[in-house]
Amino acid sequence: MSSVRLSFHLTRLTQSATRSSWRATAIGSRYMSQNISTTEEAAVSLDIEPSRLTVTKTMSPKELPASKNLMFGRTFSDHMLKIRWTEATGWEAPSIEPFDTINLSPGATVLHYAQSLFEGMKAYRHEDGTVTMFRPDMNMKRMNNSAERLALPAFDGNAFLECIKELISLDRQWIPKEPGHSLYIRPTLIGTNGTLGVAPPTEALLFVITSPVGPYYPHGFKPVPLHGTTEYIRAAPGGTGAYKLAANYAPGVVAQKSAAKQGYAQNLWLHGPEHWLTEVGTMNLFAVIKDKDGITELITPPLDGMILPGVTRDSVLALARNHASGVKRLGGLPDVIKVSERPINMGEIIQSSKEGRLIELFGTGTAAVVTPVDRIGYNGGDVTIPTGKDGMGPISEPLWAELVGIQTGAIKSNWNYVVAQ
């Protein structure tokens, strides 16, 4: 490496090291603590560097799909972002390239040991043409946490976001214009070295693909019935449920198939002999119950290691707490509302239902924002869950309206990250 190039790298390295608060625990522990004394050693510490991004545009842009025909994750935009990492060089120069296949050694660790993690986020087009993402810093944090859990390399989330921004700006015509539509963004990190030992990967690929998506509920909210699942588990104490690892999802498919066969839309993952409610399919879960004093309580299970820390979950909690404390009142919510992150089990759901105190139950996630639930199949019977007349319940509706208002730009918020004006 020439000395000019090296000093450039070192300058960039110092800049990104000071810029980032939530990057590179793995890089930090593996490299930053090394005594950097030679040029080659210095180079291994490289983090993602947006100024090194190269862009190769497709020579054959695809025809944009009609928005009404969009099905989740079936259509991909013209370009993708790729950033390779090796233990020897650190993060290499990012590149935006035409969307295409990825070459992998048949021995790649991702194929054998599921060294793979991902994120799910969206770019929204506002009425005035501004394109934003919703709290992407949280996805970057979660992605780095997932990377650390898999001994995959972490990275500067701000720098990665800068590169994602370029990808979305380049493919912005792929963000459908119709209300309720968006561009789904799928960042993924995989171990790529072709060696069969079970060990931390020495080579990795971080890539991002994007896919135009329509509204989750094009014809109004449709409450879903859940199968109270106890025969399979999604997560366990000490496991990986709190991370967005590919390995958490593959085993859920059989459980989902089994729920569907019994006439339910999703699994309600129940944990332990007490049947604690954890998550709904691939969503976080909220229940609303009136306590014995008649106070409305919004309840979601605590982040105890089994629950994925959802961005929507966190946002719903923040909005509800701001309402409760008077920071920002939301029309439609009761004046007094208790917001709890606490365990809740099927016994409490059934009891509150019998006593007429169960108000609603819903899932939250990037895909649908809010999914109301109308029934839980449990112990051979069905527990009926109240729903509002238009599908959503009285507490989720104002929270949903506020969130969607922010995401679409109708409500100003510093949760929006501007991608393009």
Ligand X SMILES: Cc1ncc(COP(=O)(O)O)c(C=O)c1O
257 CB-near residues (< 8 Å, 6+ apart)? none
Q: Please identify which residue in 308, 359, 361, 403 interacts with ligand X, judged by CB under 6 A.
A: 308
Ramachandran sector of residue 332 (left: φ over 0; alpha: ψ -120 to 50; beta: rest): left
**Per-position DSSP letters for 359-380, written without gaps between them:** EEEEEEETTTEEEEEEEEEETT
- Cα–Cα distance, 288 to 394 (Å, whole number): 10
Q: Does 140 bind ligand X (CB under 6 A)?
A: no
CA dihedral 17, 21, 24, 26 (to 10 degrees): 120
Q: Which residue is nearest to ligand X (CB)?
A: 310
Output the smallest distance, CB 312 to ligand X, in A: 3
Token duo for residue 148: 């650390």
3 state DSSP class of 210: strand
**Residue 311 binding ligand X, by CB under 6 A:** yes
User: Whole-number minimum distance, CB 318 to ligand X, in Å?
Assistant: 12
Query: What mask of x and - would describe binding to ligand X in positions 55 to 94, judged by CB under 6 A?
Result: ----------------------------------------
* Comparison of 158 and 284: residue with beta carbon closer to ligand X: 284
Handedness of CA 240, 144, 212, 278 (dihedral sign): positive
Position 120 contacts ligand X (CB under 6 A): yes
Residues 346-365 that bind ligand X (CB under 6 A): 364-365
| 366 forms part of the interface with ligand X (CB under 6 A) | yes
Number of residues counted as binding ligand X (CB under 6 A): 13
For residues 153 and 365, which CB has a smaller minimum distance to ligand X in the complex? 365
For the bound state, the minimum distance from the C-beta of residue 12 to ligand X, rounded and expressed in Å, comes to 30
| C-alpha distance from residue 102 to each of 99, 106, 166, 204, 205 (Å) | 9, 12, 20, 12, 10
Residue in this structure with the two tokens 């709290």, named with its chain if needed: 135
Q: What angle do CA 236, 238, 239 make, to 5 degrees?
A: 55
Report the nearest approach of ligand X to the CB of residue 87 (Å).
Answer: 29
Residue 239 lies near ligand X (rule: CB under 6 A): no
Q: Which of 313, 378, 396, 407 binds ligand X (CB under 6 A)?
A: 313
179: which DSSP letter? Answer: T
Residue with Cβ nearer ligand X (176 or 310): 310
Site for ligand X in 257-296 (CB under 6 A): 279, 282-284
Applying CB under 6 A, the residues found at the interface with ligand X are 120, 279, 282-284, 308, 310-313, 364-366
